[in-house]
Amino acid sequence: MGSISYQPNIASQVSHDLRIPLTGILGMTYFLNKTQLTPEQKRYVSIIEAEVTRLLALEDKLHTLVQNH
Amino acid sequence: MSVKVRRIKVLIVEDQPIAAMVTHAMLLELGHHADVAVDGKDALEKYPNSYDLIFMDIGLPDMTGIEVTAEIRRLENSQKHTPIVALTAYTDQELKLACRAVGIEEIIHKPANRETLKEVIVKYCNDKSILTFEK
């Protein structure tokens, strides 16, 4: 086998580990949206998605900051 | 306007059950067949089933998706080239270089939505043998 490898540095690993559960939450809201939801429930799911998306964007910023430090 | 894509066979290489479940559900909704491999060893065991497209997670428990891809390319020996797209939560530049080196077509960042998966399929699997299957 060739010697091509990928070894994430600690900043990338932490970033990755933060993204995984956030991605998991969005996966669950995706499934929730496919069930019968009341308008009230839809609203709550939509807010969860918006908040998690914000977290992901923040995480991205943080990762860039740490990498460039 | 809709794009007609044939029903394809996809391998999802992903160790996180939730992520695998979501990608699998999305691909089924798009009308395709999808198998899941839970680590590098599983992926290499399933690879001979011959897939039209592989979504490769990078952070696997036994080896990286880079190493799995390198081995698949070695097995293919330039006789064929299965499109392999990285689907990962790693977002750094080093990964881009490693992916290019082993012949990964592109990197999709998690979370991927259904539209993104569909675009990837249209981009790499929309060949001349299109049937009129549409979703």
Q: What is the ipTM of this complex?
A: 0.86
Residue B84 near residue B72 (C-beta atoms within 8 A): yes
The pLDDT of residue B129:
45
**Residue A32's closest chain B neighbor by CA?**
B22
Report the C-alpha gap between A15 and A10 in whole angstroms: 8
pLDDT digits (tens, 9 = 90+) for A4-56: 789 999 999 999 999 999 999 999 999 999 999 999 999 999 999 999 999 99
A2 contacts in chain B (CB < 8 Å) = 70, 74, 102
pTM of the model: 0.90
pLDDT digits (tens, 9 = 90+) for B74-117: 999 989 999 999 999 999 889 999 999 999 999 999 988 999 99
SS3 B97: helix
Smallest Cα–Cα separation from B125: which of B100, B105, B97? B105
Tokens for B87, please give them: 């689907």
Report the C-alpha gap between A25 and A49 in whole angstroms: 8
Interface of A with B (CB under 8 A): 1-2, 4-9, 11-12, 15-16, 19-20, 22-24, 26-28, 30-31, 56, 60, 63, 67
The pLDDT of residue B4:
66
Cβ neighbours for B59, distance < 8 A, ≥ 6 positions apart? A8, A16, B15, B65, B88, B89, B90
Mind telling me how many Å the CA of B88 is from chain A's nearest CA? 8
The pLDDT of residue B2:
58
User: CA geometry: angle at B5 spanning B129 and B89, to 5°?
Assistant: 120
For residues B66-77, average pLDDT? 96
Interface of B with A (CB under 8 A): 16, 18-19, 21-22, 25-26, 58-59, 64, 66-67, 70-71, 74, 88-92, 94-95, 98, 101-102, 110-111
A23 contacts B19? CB cut-off 8 A: yes
